[in-house]
Amino acid sequence: MKIAIAGKGGVGKTTLSAALARSLAAHARVVAVDADPNNCLGRALGFSESALEEIAPLSEMKERLAERAGTGEGGSFFALDPRVEDLLGRFGVEQGEITLLVMGTVDEPGAGCVCPESAVLKALVRHLVGLEELSLVMDMDAGLEHLGRGTAQHVGALLIVTEPTTASARTAARIARLAKGLGLRVPGVVLNKASSGKAGEQVSAYLGGLEVIGTLPADPQVSGSEVVPEAGAYVKAVGDLRKRLSTWLDSEDV
């Protein structure tokens, strides 16, 4: 299973990414990719502080990425398909069946601009989603810059998270339009922090026709801790979501 998770800031993307990675890790090796500028996925997964201190976002290694792309500082030409097969082994940090890789983001100065760092990170995403023996969970920001042209055809699905608020639902609908324009498959949205079974009714009119594929409860065990708990109502709901995603992916033949 190859899943990318996006949504408005603060809706719970990182918490869901961590919980879903753990659920998948009970069945296969998982690569958890932190592509959010806040870089909180490692803590949500319960990685030790010593392990987290050793991790630097790949996007900050500009000289190394430029070298990998085949250009030096100020170079005008670089490889659009650089060698990236060794990056997971060199920079991924393992804990149990989960390998964490912190990508970071690349701020490109203009629409359509391509820089060496971006070329390497996008090539790495293409490589990761092509590894059949691994499950992949990507914690994205709303920009989706890592899932541009050349990667969309490999990712199984983009899962969009929303809170039961109109602003969050509208953002989810915008992300879905952008994602579908890139050729990404969008099974629907996950409604997070739901305080009742009727929470979806409050925002359904703002979701642009997106289906609510899963509802996650407002669980105090989750909101009160940086680390996703091992059990509880939220974790159970994520396990049910994983099963629904698996069924959806099988039905879509991806």
CA distance 66 to 7: 30
Domain 2-252, what fold? Rossmann fold (3.40.50)
pLDDT at residue 22 tops 80? yes
Greater pLDDT, 221 or 161: 161
CA distance 128 to 135: 9
pTM of the model: 0.86
Q: Give the pLDDT of residue 109.
A: 40
Range ranked top by mean pLDDT from 67-71, 146-150, 170-174: 170-174
CA distance 203 to 168: 9
Q: Give the pLDDT of residue 132.
A: 85
CA distance 30 to 26: 9
Contact 189, 161 (CB under 8 A): yes
Q: Enumerate the domain spans of the chain.
A: 2-252
Which phi-psi region, left, alpha or beta, contains residue 48 (left: φ > 0; alpha: ψ -120 to 50)?
A: beta
Lowest-pLDDT choice from 34-38, 114-118, 203-207, 221-225? 114-118
Provide the CB-side half-sphere exposure for 29 (13 A, CA). Answer: 10
Residue type, 32: A
